[in-house]
Chain A
Amino acid sequence: MTKIKEILMHEKLPVKVYSHESQLSKPWPFVKEMFVDLFKSRDLAWQLTIRDIKAQYRQSFLGILWAFIMPLATTVTWIFLNKTGIVKLAPTGIPYPLFVFSGTLLWSIFMESLQSPLKLSNAAKSTLSKINFPREAIIISGIYQSLFNGIIKISLIIATFLIFGIYPGWNLLLFPFAFLSLVIAGTTIGLLITPIGLLYTDIGRAIPLIMQFVMYITPVVFPIPKDGWANLLFTLNPLTQLIVVCRDWLSGTATLYLSGFLIVTTILLFILFLAWAIYRLVMPIIIERMSA
C-alpha cells in the first residue's frame, strides 16, 4: 500500500478512547456520540423487535390474547363495583364500561413502556457484558414493541367505542401524538430506574406495587374528583393529563387538558434526554457489577 494511501486510511479510522475520567469531562463529544449511536442502532433495534415479538408469540398458544386479559379483568371488576353501587362514582361523560375499558388498556400501554427498559436490559444482560453494541437499540426496541402491542390495544378500544355508538371526531388525527407521548412517558421513567434496577432486584419488584397506587390517583377507573385534596392529587399527577387527553381524542370529545398535556410532554422530552445520557454514562459501571 502506498504511503499516502496509508496515511489517508489512517485519518479515516474512527478512534475510541477509554479512560478513567468521567465521560462528562468532555460533554460535547459525549452528546455527539449519543446521537451517532442512536443512528447506528436503527437496524439493530428493528432486528431485536422482530426477534422478541416472534419469540413471544411463537411459543404461545393464546398469543395476543394475553395482552387483553388483565385489562379485561379489571374492567369487569369495576363495572361490577359500579353497577351494584358498591362504589359510588361520578358520571364519566362516555358510558362507564367504555370509560373503564379504555382507561385500563391505556394504563396497560403505559405500564408496558415503563417496564420495558428494565425488562429488556435484564434479558440482554449476557450480551451486554460480552459485546459492545449501541445500547440505544435495546431501548428503541422496547419502544417499538410497546407501540406494536399498543396499536393492537388501541384498535380494540376504537372497535369497542364504535360498537357502542361513540364515534371519533377529527381529533382522532391528533391521537397518535398522545399515544406516543404516553409511551415516551413510560419509557422515560423506565429508563431512569433501569441502572439501579439492574443492580438491585428490589426496584423491579417494587414498581408494579407502587404503580398500583399511582393508578388510583389517575383517572383510569374513575374520573377526576371534583374537589378536595383528591382533586389536587389528580391534577398534580402528570399522567392524568396524558390519560385524559388520550381518551378524549379517541372518543371524539374536546379536551380541556390540552395545555397541561403540552407542558407535561415537553418536560418529559427533556427528562428523557437526561435519562438517556445517564443510562449511557453508567452502563460500563453496571456491566462490571451486575450478575450476568
Chain B
Amino acid sequence: MTTAVRVPGVTDFDPATALAAAADGDQRAWNAIVMTYSGLVWSVARSFRLSTADAGDVVQGTWLRLVEHLHDIRDPDRLAGWLATTARRESLNLIRRAGRDVPVDDVDGLGGPAAVAAAAVDERLLRDESQRALWQAVSRLSHGCQRLLRVMFADPAPSYETVGAALDIPIGSIGPTRARCLAGLRSILTG
C-alpha cells in the first residue's frame, strides 16, 4: 500500500526523484519533501503528547537525520515509513532524556506515555461545538487509541504501513484496532 500524497502546488511528487534532487542540493525538491511529510512527522511526535517545543525538536531532529541520509535511503517508496520510524525514535529518546516514563499501554498493545505531558490540541483553535465534543470524546479514549487515531488521521492520511512504522505495531493489527478505537469513540459521543 502506498501513501497518496497530495500537496497544494506540488504536483507529481515522487519520493525517489525528490530525494535524489535534494541530495544534490535542490532546495525546491527538499521543500516539497518537508511539506509533504511535515503533517505525518508532527503527528507522530504529538501522538506522544509532546509539548509544542518538544514536538518541534523531534520534527527538526527527524529532518536533520533525513538530510544526513539523503544518499542512502534504500527504498524511497518507503520514505514515509522511514520518517515515521525516525520520528518515533526521536520522540522516545527525548522522553527518555527528560527522565519521563514510557510505560506500555497493555490494553491496546500500543506503547505510550501514561503521564500526559501536554495537551494534544490547542482547544482555542477548535472550530465549533461539534469539534469540542469530538475532542472531549477523544481525550477519554485510552492512550493507545489516541496515539493510533492521531497518526492515522494526520493530513495527508498515511498508509497502514506507515502507521505501523509510527506506532511500531504489526500492519495486520491496525485495521481491527482502528475499528475498535472508532467504535469506542462513537459510543462515548452517543453515550
Q: Is B a genuine binding partner of A?
A: no
